[in-house]
Amino acid sequence: MTEASSKFALVTGGTRGIGQGAALALAAAGYDVLATGLTVEEVAASPPHPAIRHARLDVTRDDEVAAIVTTCPRLDALVNCAGMIQRGGKEFEIDAFRLTIEVNLNGTMRMCLAARDKLAANGDAKSGGAIVNIASMLTFHGSPFAPGYAASKGAIGQLTKSLAAAWAPEGIRVNAVAPGWIATELTRPLVEDAQRSAPILARTPMGRWGEPGDVGGAIAFLLSDAAAFITGTILPVDGGYLAV
């Protein structure tokens, strides 16, 4: 940990996209951050940052999850960004459906369970560690193309509320953000295709794509003392997409 920091955050899926935005936002807020990626290549490609350390992690592996939590000197914040993206019609095949649930839902629960003791050790019922999960617009409505992804993100909403209620006496707050259309490496083909992007922007009252930093800022808020009385909430970060 750096001399200037007294808080430590673990961000899974923190080497790119929304996870990277979260890691950078938390570093700016004064945290030391451990950001994980699924592959050695992802970790190696992550730009260096004085407050961010990078490591490889597969959230479907009990042994790897336990080991990564052990390396944390303390744990004030857990951000569960590791996840499978929408896989279109492949999720109508049971193996692809099962894998999506295993990563997005079970992987999130696995991380929460592993981090629980260290998060609880940092406070009492009024203040302690905090978790932010990654929900989605599909937490609120279904998808005709990605039933596994939609099912996993719907479940993330209920998991967030359930853990918030169960762990509040231990001083652990549990919230989620629900990103709208965010410009990342994965969505770049949509962003750069004016014809496909147009209906997205037309549905979004703020009239633009979100940036990873927009989501990272919301995550940093939910983990901060300013949100000390907020738990069990799902915060849309969508430019107003759900409002219309």
Return the active site residues. 149
CA gap 65, 57 in Å, rounded = 7
Task: Encode the chain in three state secondary structure.
Answer: CCCCCCEEEEEECCCCHHHHHHHHHHHHCCEEEEEEECCHHHHHHCCCECCEEEEECCCCCHHHHHHHHHCCCCCCEEEECCCCCCCHHHHHCHHHHHHHHHHHHHHHHHHHHHHHHHHHCCCCCCCCCEEEEECCHHHCCCCCCCHHHHHHHHHHHHHHHHHHHHHHHHCCEEEEEEECCECCCCCHHHHCCHHHHHHHHHHCCCCCCECHHHHHHHHHHHHCHHHCCCCCCEEEECCCHHHC
**Taking a C-beta distance cutoff of 8 angstroms, is the pair 99, 86 a contact?**
no
CA gap 179, 236 in Å, rounded = 6
CA gap 27, 100 in Å, rounded = 29
